[in-house]
A and B are shown apart, each in its own frame.
Chain A
Amino acid sequence: MTEAPQRPVGPPVSDADPFAPDALEHPEPLHRALRAAGPVVYLTRYGVHAMARHEEVHAALTDWQRFESGSGVGLANFRHEKPWRPPSLLLEADPPRHDAPRRVLRELLAPPALRRLREQWTAAAESLVGDVVCAETEFDAFTELAGAFPLRVFPDAVGLGPDGRENLLPYGNMAFNAFGPVNDLVEADAHRVGELSAWVNAQCAREALREDGIGARIWAAADRGDLTHEQAPLVVRSLLTAGVDTTVHGLAAALFAFATHPEQWQRLRERPELARVAFDEAVRWQSPVQTFFRTATTDVRIAGVLVPEGSKILMFLGAANRDPARWHDPDRFDLGRDPSGHVGFGMGLHQCVGQHVARLEAEVLLSALARRVERIELIGRPRRHLNNTLRSWASLPVRVHTAV
């Protein structure tokens, strides 16, 4: 913390492309190189700075005063570039405008508020797991479990109508691709932007939402003046954008982890109360959200390196979550570890407002599986689905051995 009046030095540079297919498929080598290069690295290909060590990433995520989100948390700098959609009132906003939407969602998604969902979601998980493992012992755990469960419970909790829910995952995929550069992944979605956005925007209207859901409660908050009526649909949109794909790929990370670490599955079966820790450990280990950008609000000096005001900084959450300076044997998935303090949900005032929803979904699903399944094993090559921001999946072929 000493502030020696030294001349800032240039950061180490890298010409790596973190959004290239190879890096998205296997990010670990790039993460290792970036962590080793220094606390801040300059990525020449995109003209942005990057942080990959836990200490700096954690500190910068917390320091909203110097690392803002309002200029966009993707590569596009909203100071100069037009956002592809009206910016999020949460993810892409700073205090003071961030305050009211955050407060409303935080209260609606706080652990005490979710208690009313636990019983219902436990039953839904039992029913899904029962259907899947009774029908067959070999199946795709990505499509049948990870991809299915959030869509069974979350849209109902929000209060969406029955039609068009198949649009949720493609919309999220598109939104998370849009934080990266305009590469093939973004081009591949381009023809659906209008259609998917129109569907999602239509679901955010008061009339489209059931009266007993979280969406309706957001509108009720607007009726009380806690939000404006113009803000309400955008806050609902945040639930629909950030609340589905992330959880799906977080659950898939946990299932992949257990399919490849049978001894950890045994541990969970012996101590089912480890389900919450297990999910956070999977989130640490796989980091379903790999990266987010921030923008420096002022000249910031980090370990002697000057990051000029207005610079975009790419935060490697996934690299921070496997930083050996913070985690012992970081590449190991280990239920004996305390994963507290990982940045898989971010940190600070933008930390994932739906984290307790994700944990509840994971806890009930893993617990239901642990009651019925003795062993999960891979029976084919798991396939990734590439996304500029999400560490996501296409297929997890497994065989389960059910408990007698």
Chain B
Amino acid sequence: MVTTSTTGTGTGLRTGAVTLRIRAREQVADGVVALTLEHSDGARLPDWTPGSHIDLVLPEGTVRQYSLCGDRWDAHTYRIAVLREASGRGGSTYVHDELRTGDRVGVGAPRNHFPLVPSQRYLFVAGGIGITPLLPMVHQAELLGADWQLLYGGRTRASMAFREELTRTYGDRVHLVPQDELGLLDLDSWLGTPRPDTKVYCCGPGPLLAAVEAACASWPPYTLRTERFTAAAAAPVRATPFQVELRRTGRTVTVTPDMSVLEAVRLAGADVLSSCEQGTCGTCLTPVLEGAPEHRDSVLADHERTVGDCMLPCVSRSCGDRLVLDL
């Protein structure tokens, strides 16, 4: 824990698109690199909870989602771990081959579709890189004094990120199952008997999720929680300016990549109330009349994002050339 330094940077929270610097890049397993991200001015990052992910906006505009797997008690860095997926859509290849310490990447506010809910007991089931959201969860389960076990499968021992850290810290609560040594996870013996006092958290490749869902079919509702990243065909993020029309005011402003929509509309004279300016409190929610917002907040649910009739201009931007706001 930090015991010196002044209390943060006051109101120095950045507005606008959040660009973070890669502070460290580390090979943590075969085919897996971990990135540590920070503000170049050392400011605090938005708070997060275990199970959260961030959008990583790569320099050429593609967006990928990665679970946060660092320590939330460190308010100044995020950590993600990225598996090289040869058959993937290019994002992981870019992270592995191009990104270096000191590079900058765009980051959205943390969102959590996979929150750790209260329970006396947890069974965490990880497949491969699916360990990432579960890593902060096991730490949290330990802090809460819950009774927990982690079942962690991977192709080979060397491909399993954080295995040493896990076994060193948590000992026999952690069950490593490298497939080439021990075969597939024995889900029947772990999940065969429903335990109403246990929540099951699973993250991993599709076949593992399907197998765990099948094995938990007779468990009480809401005991199984899974995380699956759907490869949504998100349009590349634009790195070029766009226009925002303030319909009621009758003005149009240009939003350049270095400024937020909120800053731009304020310059045009709109009175938009805000508070956190990190996409987390929801105060600046503004109706969208035309155009497609590119959401980077942590407030709107997926279905609200899809409707696209409102946005948080402190962090969110535009997919297209033009947005019309009810301002």
- A residues apposed to B, CB below 8 Å: 1, 3, 54-56, 58-60, 62-66, 95-97, 99-100, 103, 107, 110-112, 224-228, 231, 273-274, 276-277, 280, 297-303, 326, 338-341, 345, 347-349, 351, 355-356, 359
C-alpha spacing A112/B50, complex, angstroms? 24
Verify B3–A301 contact, CB threshold 8 A: yes
Verify A58–B115 contact, CB threshold 8 A: no
C-alpha spacing A62/B1, complex, angstroms? 16
Verify B9–A277 contact, CB threshold 8 A: no
Chain A residues positioned under 8 Å from B42 (CB to CB): 1
Q: 26 A-B residue contacts at CB 8 Å? A: A1-B9, A3-B5, A55-B10, A59-B10, A60-B7, A62-B44, A65-B73, A66-B1, A96-B49, A96-B140, A97-B144, A100-B118, A103-B112, A224-B222, A226-B117, A231-B118, A298-B1, A301-B5, A338-B266, A340-B274, A340-B283, A341-B11, A349-B47, A355-B275, A355-B281, A356-B283
Shortest beta-carbon distance from A125 to chain B in Å = 19
Partner of B299, one of A62, A110, A224, A276: A110
- B residues apposed to A, CB below 8 Å: 1-11, 42, 44, 47, 49-50, 72-73, 75, 112, 115-119, 140, 143-144, 199, 222-223, 248, 266, 271, 273-277, 281-283, 285, 299-301, 304, 310
Verify A276–B1 contact, CB threshold 8 A: no
Verify A3–B9 contact, CB threshold 8 A: no
Chain B residues positioned under 8 Å from A349 (CB to CB): 47
C-alpha spacing A128/B266, complex, angstroms? 34
C-alpha spacing A95/B115, complex, angstroms? 13
Contact of A227 with B10 at beta-carbon distance under 8 Å, contacts A1-B5, A338-B266 already known: no
Contact of A345 with B10 at beta-carbon distance under 8 Å, contacts A227-B117, A297-B1, A298-B2 already known: no
Once A and B bind, how many residue pairs between them come within 8 Å at the CB atom? 126
Partner of A95, one of B72, B274, B304: B72
Verify B115–A99 contact, CB threshold 8 A: yes
Partner of A280, one of B2, B5, B248, B273: B273
Shortest beta-carbon distance from A209 to chain B in Å = 21
Residue of B73, B112, B116, B118 with most chain A CB atoms under a 10 A cut-off: B118
Partner of A351, one of B72, B119, B275, B310: B275
Chain A residues positioned under 8 Å from B2 (CB to CB): 66, 298
